[in-house]
Amino acid sequence: MSDRVSVAKTYKLYLDGKFPRSESGRTYPVTDSAGGFLANASHASRKDVRDAVSAARKAFGGWSGATAYNRGQVLYRVAEVLEGRREQFAAEVAACEGVSTAESSAIVDAAVDRWVWYAGWTDKIASVLGAANPVAGPYFSFTVPEPTGVVGVLAPQSSSLLGLVSVLAPVVATGCTAVVVSSAERPLPAITLSEVLATADVPGGVVNVLTGRADELGPWLASHADVNAIDPTGASREARVDLAQRASNTVKRVLTVPADEPDWTRRPDISRLRRYLEAKTVWHPKGT
């Protein structure tokens, strides 16, 4: 029997394509569903939120300016890399969520399929939500969807992987960039997903992942003037009221989400894609 002592892990944040420690120096223990120690995670601070928003804003121009087809290729690559680490994700989901190995494997497979589903929509959503408008005059009128900007995502607290992918993938599929606050008690799948994103052709800053408490970090995201929308899924019911009030100061879009977490295994639709797009209408005179 080996008497080797395993390496005690302290996971870092994911900001601008890098893995820094929290500016605050804070960490907190992560345990499995039975209370056993798994690792330490960085506890993000307000300064980390500001750094994440700055990185997301810097990356927005390049990501939103990429072709929809290219974004789809990148999302498909995320699915490929995630599937390549299927066993690790399954083990982390099983430990965090207290489900069987078979159930956790099915969750990982569903997460891979969810990335593929949204990858397929990147170059089709403009055809579905855009339009050529009939006008009474010598003009062409077109309406095209454009990404809204930087999105703050408070990830689901219970569904550590499939729920996270379900709220994150539509953000990046539309050309937006994201600042994600992971599940506080179950952050390991989000941390591992960060490693997947870092090696799957996703440009630095497009997705930034913070570990910590949604009710602590959420208000700073909601009040940040450079954040354009916020998904409060992972916030408590009481905190959502405060988030909406803070977001109103900068006329920020706040997604309407169910009071309780939905069944993330249900087949998705384009409603989340629609929420991160703005309609831009262009008028152009006809030639003679």
> What tens digit of pLDDT does each residue of 272-285 get?
999 999 999 888 88
Query: Is the residue at 3 inside a domain?
Result: no
Query: Is the residue at 7 inside a domain?
Result: no
Helices (H), 17-45: none
Helix, strand, coil tally for the chain in percent (to 5): 45, 20, 40
Burial class of residue 201 in the structure, from the number of CB atoms within 10 Å of its CB (0-12 exposed, 13-18 middle, 19+ buried): middle
Query: Is the residue at 50 inside a domain?
Result: yes
The string of pLDDT tens digits covering residues 197-234 is 999 999 999 999 999 999 999 999 999 999 999 999 99
Query: Is the residue at 19 inside a domain?
Result: no
Query: Is the residue at 18 inside a domain?
Result: no
Query: Is the residue at 30 inside a domain?
Result: no
Query: Is the residue at 9 inside a domain?
Result: no
Amino acid identity, residue 36? G
* Structural domain range at position 173: 37-285
As a whole number of angstroms, the distance between CA 56 and CA 174 comes to 14
As a whole number of angstroms, the distance between CA 73 and CA 120 comes to 9
Total domains in the chain come to 1
Query: Is the residue at 10 inside a domain?
Result: no
Is-above-0.75 flag for pTM?
yes
Q: Is 12 in contact with 6 (CB distance < 8 Å)?
A: no
Domain CATH for 58: 3.40.605.10
pLDDT tens across the length of the chain (288 residues): 567 877 778 999 999 999 999 999 999 999 998 999 999 999 999 999 999 999 999 999 999 999 999 999 999 999 999 999 999 999 999 999 999 999 999 999 999 999 999 999 999 999 999 988 888 888 888 899 999 999 999 999 999 999 999 999 999 999 999 999 999 999 999 999 999 999 999 999 999 999 999 999 999 999 999 999 999 999 999 999 999 999 999 999 999 999 899 999 999 999 999 999 999 988 888 865
β-strand 139-147 against 277-285: which pairing, if any? antiparallel
> Would you tell me how many other CB atoms lie within 10 Å of the CB of residue 159?
27
Residue 219 CB contacts under 8 Å (≥ 6 apart), including other chains: 239, 242, 243, 246
